[in-house]
């Protein structure tokens, strides 16, 4: 690994952990309860995005009538028990090990509620790879940009020597706002076509993550 890269910031859901199936099952339980059309995995990856309120409206839920808080609470009642059984994506542990061996600091930046986030990371046995874990203080999964700013400030992170790895166009937007290079990984919560529309490097899976690819992403952002 060259001197350009010293920090890797990971998204969690869909990037490190393979939780798309439980998410689709959980939101379909909400839709079925309201006699709304259910989502296939392919349709979900085409419509999911941030802000979450807009995504809810797209699939027929009404965050104005029912409130984001109530919809989020209902979703998590089904989702969280399944989350605890979700595995890491193939290739994730190897990538984490590669960056640790190269001396890079690693962090998690997630729109997931932080207490639950830490519990899942501990269960997966990968907490030791991360210098810090930043989630949200609530269940509403809104923008993680403000937490990203706190992460950079708290740990003296130089954006020009850092990269964010994620699985959504929102990750790309957050990285751009923070001045970070970005690499997107397909197989998570959005389709590969949507990821490619951001103009950033897209990998087919976590198995394709390596130091050389990330260095190339940083050079392309300079």
Of the options 3.40.50.1000, 3.30.379.10, 3.40.640.10, 3.40.50.1580, the CATH number for the domain spanning 7-19+87-221: 3.40.50.1000
pTM of the predicted model as reported, rounded to 2 decimal places: 0.92
- pLDDT over threshold 70, residue 13: yes
DSSP state at residue 48:
-
- Checking if the pLDDT of 74 tops 80, the result is yes
Q: What is d(CA 12, CA 52) in angstroms, rounded to the nearest whole number?
A: 17
User: pLDDT band for position 216 (50/70/90)?
Assistant: low
CB 14 within 8 A of CB 108: no
- Contact residues for 165 (Cβ-Cβ < 8 A; gap 6+): 8, 9, 10, 11, 15, 171, 182, 183, 184, 185, 209, 214
Average pLDDT rounded to a whole number, residues 66-76: 91
Percent of the chain's residues with pLDDT above 90: 74
CB under 8 Å to 212, separation ≥6 — which residues? Answer: none
Q: b/e for 185-213, b at 16 or more Cβ within 10 A?
A: bbbbbbbbebbeebebbbbeebeebebee
Task: Name the percent of the chain lying above pLDDT 70.
Answer: 91
Mean pLDDT score, 143-171: 93
Average pLDDT over residues 191-199: 96
For residue 90, count other CB atoms closer than 10 A to its CB: 12
Give CA–CA dist 65/89, Å, rounded: 36
What is the pLDDT at residue 206? Answer: 83
Q: What is the pLDDT of residue 1?
A: 43
Shortest CA distance to 167 belongs to which of 65, 59, 7, 17? 17
When the pLDDT of each residue in the chain is averaged and rounded to a whole number, the result is 90
Q: Does residue 166 contact residue 175 with C-beta atoms inside 8 Å?
A: yes
- Residue 43, pLDDT > 90, answer yes
> What are the Cα distances from residue 34, in Å, to 21, 88, 148?
20, 32, 36
């Amino acid at each position: 690994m060259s001197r350009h890269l010293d920090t890797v910031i990971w998204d969690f859901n869909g990037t490190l952990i393979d939780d798309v199936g439980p998410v689709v099952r959980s939101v379909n339980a909400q839709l079925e309860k309201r006699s709304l059309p259910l989502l296939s995995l392919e349709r979900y990856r085409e419509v999911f995005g941030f802000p979450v309120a807009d995504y809810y409206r797209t699939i027929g839920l009404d965050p104005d009538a029912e409130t984001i808080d109530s919809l989020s609470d209902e979703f998590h009642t089904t989702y969280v028990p399944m989350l605890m059984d979700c595995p890491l994506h193939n290739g994730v542990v190897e990538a984490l090990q590669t960056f640790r061996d190269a001396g890079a600091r690693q962090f998690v930046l997630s729109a997931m509620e932080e207490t639950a986030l830490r519990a899942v990371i501990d269960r997966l046995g990968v907490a030791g790879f991360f210098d810090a874990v930043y989630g949200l203080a609530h269940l509403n999964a809104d923008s993680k940009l403000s937490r990203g700013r706190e992460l950079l400030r708290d740990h003296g992170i130089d954006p020009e020597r850092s990269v964010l790895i994620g699985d959504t166009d929102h990750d790309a937007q957050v990285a751009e706002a923070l001045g970070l290079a970005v690499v997107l990984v397909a197989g998570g919560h959005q389709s590969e076509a949507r990821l490619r529309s951001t103009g950033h490097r897209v990998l087919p899976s976590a198995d394709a993550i390596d130091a050389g690819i990330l260095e190339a992403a940083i050079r392309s952002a300079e």
